[in-house]
Amino acid sequence: MRGPPTATIFVAVPERPAVPFPADFLWGAATASYQIEGAAAEGGRGPSVWDDFSHTPGKVANGHTGDVACDHYHRVEDDVKMMVEMGLQAYRFSISWSRVLPEGRGRVNDEGVAFYSKLVDLLLDHGITPNATLFHWDLPSGLEAIDGFRNRDTASYFADYAALMVDALGDRVKMWATFNEPWCHAYLGHAAGVHAPGMRDPKAAVTVAHHEQLAHGLGVQAMRAERSDLQLGTVINPSNVRREGSPDADEDEMRTIDGIHNRWWFDPILKGEYPADLLDDLGPLADAIRPGDTAEIHQPLDWMGINYYYDILVRGVRADESSVNRMLAYPTVQNTTESDRRPVHTDMGWPITPEGFTNLLVRLHTDYDNLPPLYITENGCAYDDPIVDGRIADRRRIEYLDLHLRAVRDAIDQGVDVRGYFEWSLMDNFEWALGYDKRFGLVHIDFDTLERTPRDSAAWYRDVIKANEVPAVEG
Ligand code: FCB
């Protein structure tokens, strides 16, 4: 790979010293099955809700689908080589549930299991630690046909699937996450309707949010019953909820948003109870919770994954909104961020709030005295810089990563136990409802030819990993 770009490309940024990371800090990159694999109807894979959703006209930008994606399924050897060239020490990927269980339960597709087994062997051959996520939103259509996670039984099917994968890969994969950002599948998928399966029903969203939590707890128990040598965790996307630029933002609204987005996930897992104030807010919307459920969810974990992109900057709310309307409105709160008040934002329109990253990690450390070690399981940005003479000088991505890694280091200095960092993403991919135009990769993908071109950020990240430090930036 090419050498890193010179620091002088950053104009008007303050000088920053080099920042070393703790010894044994784990450096990696992340992807997810539906976003990269392609081969959607090959190798015995069954359909998922994301196949159905992306094939429904009007749901995904430009009618894009994950049919081919990065064709990672066929290019897995080359992609692992790419990771080796980047010096990755770890790779976070997700398993397509319907590739291994085409109907979501029952019949096992050995060819699908063999694909992940091959990936894991390739990683281990090159000294790259695998970190597998079981659910990154691509629920098998066969389970959606029985109401997906609206159906309590799906939590048990998830536990069966978790046990199956540990049985197949647990001799080699030690780091496992049950879920990725379960908030997104619940609320973007069932309240906002912008993710699969595309429902707009607040009660369904809360029901899914609970059954995902239950599935997490049952999954952890099933995996521990298979093997005792696993590092089990889950991946949440917490965020600060702030009123920046919006002095009128309502305290009560902000408390509710914080409850739905943050405390709903951490409290049952770490404290064994849902937040009482939020249960009051939700009332009958949370009827799916049964006595004893939180005890199932409250399982000891070896680690937790934090995905962080930006702070939720809340705008004032309309006074006439009832709590049910808030539930409906909430998922779109991202669209009401005051990003226009920030001088810079990414191609997603997301504000850049690295100071919030430190605050968030410190808050979790303060609020939960049994917080397990943390890994940053996703952090990154979408920018589409041009290829000029075969080179992509994505200095805004380098700047974003620099700022966020410094923020992580600040949190570590304040006592937070952060053990590793997985950049999102290894390569450009299917960015859900936004299709292929939002480019998050350290590696650029030409979606016509599927050619891979490492951006300057890939070389920069390689050097960060090698030195175990973020380099100095000249003023
Ligand atoms: C996260 C998702 C990941 C990717 C990034 C940009 O919410 O977990 O799949 O879409 O956002």
Alpha helices by DSSP H, listed for 23-181, are: 33-36, 49-54, 76-85, 97-100, 110-125, 141-144, 153-169
Q: CB-based contacts of 385: which residues, under 8 Å, 6+ apart?
A: 392, 393, 394, 395, 396, 397, 455
Mutate to test the pocket of ligand 1, among 307, 348, 434, 442 (most ligand atoms within 8 A of CB): 307
329 has a pLDDT exceeding 60: no
Confidence (pTM): 0.95
pLDDT at residue 283 in the model: 92
Catalytic residue among 244, 253, 296, 378: 378
Task: Report whether pLDDT(57) > 50.
Answer: yes
Q: State the pLDDT confidence band at 252, using cuts at 50, 70 and 90.
A: confident
Does position 314 have pLDDT exceeding 80, yes or no?
Answer: no
pLDDT score of 326 more than 90: no
More confident residue, 3 or 424: 424
Pocket test for ligand 1, best of 334, 378, 427 (most atoms within 8 A of CB): 378
Say what the pLDDT of residue 259 is. Answer: 92
Residue 475 reports pLDDT greater than 80: no
Give 160-195 pLDDT, tens digit per residue: 999 999 999 999 999 999 999 999 999 999 998 999
Ligand 1 centroid to residue 347 C-alpha, Å? 14
Confidence of residue 253 (pLDDT cuts 50, 70, 90): confident
Tell me the CA–centroid distance for residue 432 and ligand 1, in Å.
8
Continuous segment of H or E residues that includes residue 398? helix 395-413
> Greater confidence, 314 or 292?
292
Ligand 1 atom having least distance to the Cα of 237: 7
Q: Report the atom number in ligand 1 closest to the C-alpha of 440.
A: 6
Mean pLDDT of 403-420: 98
| pLDDT for 71 beyond 50 | yes
pLDDT computed for residue 5 by the predictor: 38
Catalytic residue among 37, 144, 181, 244: 181
Which residue minimizes the CA distance to atom 2 of ligand 1? 181
- Helix and strand tally (H, E) in the chain? 18, 14
Residue 181 annotated as catalytic: yes
Instruction: Give the Å distance between the CA of 101 and the centre of ligand 1.
Output: 24
Pocket of ligand 1 (CB under 6 A): 32, 35, 180-181, 184, 237, 307, 378, 424, 431-432, 440
C-alpha 427: how far from chain center: 14
Q: Any catalytic annotation for residue 273?
A: no
**Dihedral angle sign, alpha carbons of residues 323, 217, 161, 235:** positive
What's the whole-number mean pLDDT along residues 399-410?
98
Angle, helix 395-413 to helix 456-467, in steps of 10 degrees: 30
- pLDDT tens column, 22-56: 999 999 999 999 999 999 999 999 999 999 999 99
Q: What pLDDT does 4 receive? A: 39
Name the closest-CA residue to atom 9, ligand 1: 32
- Over residues 208-229, the pLDDT tens digits come to 999 999 999 999 999 999 999 9
- pLDDT average, residue stretch 336-365: 81
Mean pLDDT of 55-83: 98
Looking at every residue in the chain, the average pLDDT score rounds to: 92
Residue 337 CA to residue 223 CA, distance in Å, equals 39
What local confidence, expressed as pLDDT, does residue 403 receive? 97
pLDDT of amino acid 339: 45
pLDDT band at 421 (very low <50, low <70, confident <90, very high): very high
> Quick one: pLDDT at residue 167?
98
Distance CA 162, CA 222 (A): 7
pLDDT of residue 245: 63
In sequence order, what are the residues at sequence separation of 6 or more whose Cβ sits closer than 8 angstroms to the Cβ of residue 382?
Answer: 346, 347, 348, 431, 438, 439, 440
pLDDT at 334: 42
Per-residue pLDDT, 404: 98
Atom 10 of ligand 1, nearest CA residue: 431
Q: Rounded mean pLDDT of 396-422?
A: 98
Reference 455, options 440, 437, 443; nearest CA is: 443
